[in-house]
Amino acid sequence: MSETKPPRHIGRSIGALFAGFLVGAGLSLGTDEILHIAAIYPPWGQTMTDALFLLATAYRILYNVAGSYVIARLAPDRPMWHALVGGIVGFALSIAGAAATWNRGLGPHWYSIALAAIAMPCAWVGGKLRLVRLRARPAR
């Protein structure tokens, strides 16, 4: 008896994850740069206030949701699963970043913890938004 398995789309899955990370990181770093140029943030290398780190956290939440939505949108199948895998990778990268910068005076500890804490909720929201859009589409 032959059992057929659905084709694996590893390349498309990796591409979806890569695209989502590019969107999230690109928007975050681009906004950082714009806020430095606009003198809302101090020059690079100078310490920011907690209020400015809170601002950075707020737009990173939005951009992480957008990145997770992109992952789910481009995923070849199982959009929520792909978004959550992106969240796990984002969580791991945030923990690694926190460990690497913990006592280097690059920002408050709460900011590093917040970036790790938002990874999975943002991934879930981005995936959920995609699922809602899929269910809202008329049947073809």
Q: Considering the domain boundaries, does residue 140 fall inside one?
A: no
What is the distance between the terminal CA atoms of the chain, rounded to a whole angstrom? Answer: 33
Q: Give me the residue label for tokens 């995936």.
A: 127
Whether 31 maps to a domain, the answer reads yes
CB neighbour class for 58 (10 Å; exposed up to 12, middle 13-18, buried from 19): exposed
> Does the residue 97 lie in any domain?
yes
pTM: 0.90
What is the percent of the chain where pLDDT is above 70? 94
pLDDT at 119: 98
Looking at 19-23, 44-48, 79-83, which range is the least confident one? 44-48
Residue 101 lies in a domain: yes
For residues 116-136, give the mean pLDDT.
97
Q: Each residue of 28-67: pLDDT tens digit?
A: 999 999 999 999 999 998 989 999 999 999 999 999 999 9
The number of angstroms, rounded, from the C-alpha of 100 to the middle of its chain's C-alpha atoms is: 19
79, part of any domain: yes
**In the prediction, which pLDDT does 138 show?**
72
Quick check: 105 and 45 in contact, CB under 8 A? no
Task: Please list, residue by residue across 3-30, b when 16 or more beta carbons sit within 10 angstroms of its beta carbon and e when fewer do.
Answer: eeeeeeeeeebeebbeebbebbbebbee
Q: Which of 63, 59, 53, 61 lies closest to 24 in space, CA to CA?
A: 63
* Residue 26 within a domain: yes
- pLDDT averaged over every residue in the chain: 93
Residue 116 falls inside a structural domain: yes
Identify whether 119 is part of a domain: yes
Q: Which domain holds residue 113?
A: 12-135
